[in-house]
Chain A
């Protein structure tokens, strides 16, 4: 095992909270505000980790376990995703099924923790979360399977270099379609506009934020950190798909980091220029992502 195989995990662990700062800064620039500090999430995490606890009398150990299971799953998922050209710590054939399974495990416990409070608000958020993710999961798997067919390989760490290194004129349409599908899945899975609005605190339109309403202190820090990790991982998938190998380690590293930050800027731009979709329209968007991935697969059959 080389030292470089720890790079993706290390970067994810240290840099992921920065993404939220960049998204918020982008939105602030669009709105003509100064915005919060780029490192705001780091400050928040530090603050939350020093707090005590308040638990609802309704809750049980499930509520306390939820954030820990979520963070543990996110950490293992982080060791499966490559960073630019750097292969992940763990890579094996069909590892993206394991990746999807870990994300499902994280969701399973977040939803249960929400239902554990007995609050109808959180029940509502939980209900929408399972609804949208059930539609996003086929799109994710189909998109990655399409890439696997393009690359003739089975593990994330080997699929992406092969896809990124392919000639753009040959593979362009397929790559573009998959890229769109993955971008939609990223927005849906990470509770961003147009699927969910992280800013509308306490409105019935929310999904992810409302599920974690009752969490506080250390537990909430775990939740925020695992959400940041998840966003980082999806962004890393997209970046690894398009960045070719430049030949030098330092340049690769810089390009990959820049790419992920660019994805965060794009997310910020999307959030600034469009409104959240009506809940009834979101399924169409997600099924559309699945259809894009399916089309890409058919195109790639040639």
Chain B
């Protein structure tokens, strides 16, 4: 079954050429491959068995060893789903571009990216894992730089490449140290032996947090996200933001399976990272004008929520409270799936908007609900889901994390209860700010009167609409079938937090009662809503219905430019948090009795990019420039360097 999956993806690689048909052929083959591959994934999730596949690989320390266990299967689920849907969407998105661009290469790297992600999730050998990790990073780099004739896209590509390789650097050290400690390159051996030395485990934990956290987008390491996601074509952004960054979370969870019982500070560390990523992510999202950049910062926020769940889980493991471990990790895992669904949906919607109007600038859009009803309806579902609103899936995973934190907060001592209270308040703040952010995104782009760029907009092609509809349906379905979705987590959790299947079942049972009632409440809400619709209809039947202009307090000639803009909508919040956002404004106020021009331009550069990395890299550049004298371009000199190095090495050997 696994071989089938790999070969199917490989097969679609073969057919690269430069014609329009290739889009359709590739999309169909990716979808078919995903459908085939999902069979064993569901088997493993249902039965909890493990599928293995070994194959000798003539690389030092390498072995082609892949395994499908419930944890991998859980992450494969959104990967396969989103890969297939984004491929179908890509056909519509790239339709008509085959004249200007080499579409063959796009699909080639798209397939490589999917293959890389699947291999990362399945690999059980450190060398294979790193190779797949690099395959994923490099292929996504080429996808990010798809529109490489634009300067901003190229620079985004470089930032991404540098960031991801810095992360890989930490991972290399992590793997080498682990291998030295356990004497093997095999993940299964690592899990069986574990890391006994607590200091070493702490070091490894930090290395993994930085290395995997760079990919996932933890707050100080997130700089590449807001650059790379807007630059990539939308179906690729959806895939990268929905699934690829989750491989970082997967890596961390995999690392926890062999790092032993976590000390308390790991939990604090994760709650701290989660709060900073969550709150700062959504704050920076609020300050953005570019729709896709806003979504990219929201990925940072959602990774923060996932990290909060993992923090609760780690505290639970440390305190030997399986209920916390099950709820925390369970919420985090479910949020991984949920975020893949709604963030994929939102990126696809943003892509449809950009495709239809030619801009991603929110202040130039407006009133798109009328020309694009399908895109708008699905985007609305995605926006409500990502804000964690009740009948949808985002609420379910946040509820699990909240329940875990609350259970811990009322029963444990101060050193865990206080961070958990911070988490509870933090979840409230993140939810409130996310509501602000997505009412802004949806309200300004889709509602009101059309602004500059949205007058000639058209609805997306069916190839683009269908994936969005599928994802929106999935968001609603998980929201309403929450107890069932949580039930499928059991084998995954048993695999993870050192729990047995029985304790997991028992402790997740603590969540299923409340979830059943919450879902009942959600169903009652929908029923109530339908009743109100009927009541309103019967009340209004036969009564006068007039249409008029929006009431402008007596002013009768309003224009679309007088509407409230996205920047003004977010201004109170961005002003309140200006000490952290550092928004730069360029104001030219109107002056005189007949002012002829006025200008206001605001820009919110990234906190870490401007204050941490840029000075750091400049300093490094400066230091390296000191060595410039060695590189003169004389071949003789270089040969001399080689000779000197060899002689020094020789002398060292004979020492």
Identity of the chain A residue whose Cβ is nearest the Cβ of B528 in the assembled complex? A72
A187 near B: Cβ within 8 Å? no
Which B residues are in CB contact (< 8 Å) with A69?
Answer: 529
Which B residues are in CB contact (< 8 Å) with A148?
Answer: 406, 409-410
User: A72 and B432: CB pair below 8 A?
Assistant: no
- Residue with the greatest number of chain A CB neighbours at <10 A, chosen from B417, B424, B540: B424
User: B435 and A107: CB pair below 8 A?
Assistant: yes
The answer, among B435, B528, B560, for a CB contact under 8 Å with A118, is B560
A137 near B: Cβ within 8 Å? yes
Per-position 1/0 for A115-157, Cβ under 8 A of B? 1111111111011101101111111111001101100111000
User: B439 and A111: CB pair below 8 A?
Assistant: yes
Chain B min CB distance to A251 (Å): 30
A75 near B: Cβ within 8 Å? yes
Chain A min CB distance to B589 (Å): 19
Which residues of B422-456 have CB atoms within 8 Å of chain A's CB atoms? 424-429, 431-433, 435-436, 438-440, 442-444, 447-449
Tell me which of B120-128, B303-311, B510-518 binds A: B510-518
User: A123 and B439: CB pair below 8 A?
Assistant: no
Which residues of B478-530 have CB atoms within 8 Å of chain A's CB atoms? 510, 513-514, 517-518, 520-521, 524-525, 528-529
A86 near B: Cβ within 8 Å? no
Chain A min CB distance to B395 (Å): 6
Which residues of B513-566 have CB atoms within 8 Å of chain A's CB atoms? 513-514, 517-518, 520-521, 524-525, 528-529, 532-533, 536, 539-540, 543-553, 558, 560, 562-564
A62 to B514, CA, bound (A): 31
DSSP class of A's interface residues: helix, strand, loop or mixed?
helix
Which B residues are in CB contact (< 8 Å) with A32?
Answer: none
The answer, among B390, B448, B532, B546, for a CB contact under 8 Å with A58, is B448
User: B403 and A118: CB pair below 8 A?
Assistant: no
B476 near A: Cβ within 8 Å? no
A283 near B: Cβ within 8 Å? yes
Tell me which of A12-20, A92-100, A191-199, A256-264 binds B: A92-100
A222 to B532, CA, bound (A): 9
User: A137 and B429: CB pair below 8 A?
Assistant: yes
User: B433 and A134: CB pair below 8 A?
Assistant: yes
User: B568 and A123: CB pair below 8 A?
Assistant: yes
The answer, among A54, A92, A94, A104, for a CB contact under 8 Å with B435, is A104
Chain A min CB distance to B431 (Å): 6
A4 near B: Cβ within 8 Å? no
Tell me how many residues of A have a C-beta within 8 Å of chain B.
Answer: 85
A218 near B: Cβ within 8 Å? yes
User: A90 and B399: CB pair below 8 A?
Assistant: no
Per-position 1/0 for B391-418, Cβ under 8 A of A? 1000100110011001101110010011
User: A218 and B539: CB pair below 8 A?
Assistant: yes
Chain B min CB distance to A81 (Å): 12
User: A56 and B425: CB pair below 8 A?
Assistant: no
DSSP class of B's interface residues: helix, strand, loop or mixed?
helix
Q: Given A57-B548, A115-B564 in contact, is the A105-B513 Cβ separation under 8 Å?
A: no
User: B564 and A149: CB pair below 8 A?
Assistant: no
User: B443 and A111: CB pair below 8 A?
Assistant: yes
Tell me which of A168-176, A267-275, A294-302 binds B: A294-302
B369 near A: Cβ within 8 Å? yes
User: B384 and A123: CB pair below 8 A?
Assistant: no
Q: Given A56-B549, A134-B433, A154-B410 in contact, is the A115-B448 Cβ separation under 8 Å?
A: yes
A73 near B: Cβ within 8 Å? yes
Which A residues are in CB contact (< 8 Å) with B369?
Answer: 60, 62
The answer, among B370, B436, B447, for a CB contact under 8 Å with A130, is B436
Which A residues are in CB contact (< 8 Å) with B551?
Answer: 56, 119, 213-214
- A sample of 5 cross-chain residue pairs with beta-carbon separation below 8 angstroms, ordered by A number, consists of A55-B545, A97-B399, A104-B432, A134-B429, A145-B424
Chain B interface residues (CB < 8 Å from chain A): 366-367, 369-370, 380, 384, 387-391, 395, 398-399, 402-403, 406-407, 409-411, 414, 417-418, 421, 424-429, 431-433, 435-436, 438-440, 442-444, 447-449, 510, 513-514, 517-518, 520-521, 524-525, 528-529, 532-533, 536, 539-540, 543-553, 558, 560, 562-564, 568-573, 576
| A-B contacts besides A93-B403, A98-B399, 5 pairs, CB < 8 Å | A53-B540, A95-B514, A100-B431, A127-B564, A131-B572
User: Which 7 A-B residue pairings sit nearest by Cβ, starting from the closest?
Assistant: A123-B564, A134-B432, A115-B443, A118-B448, A130-B436, A52-B544, A138-B428
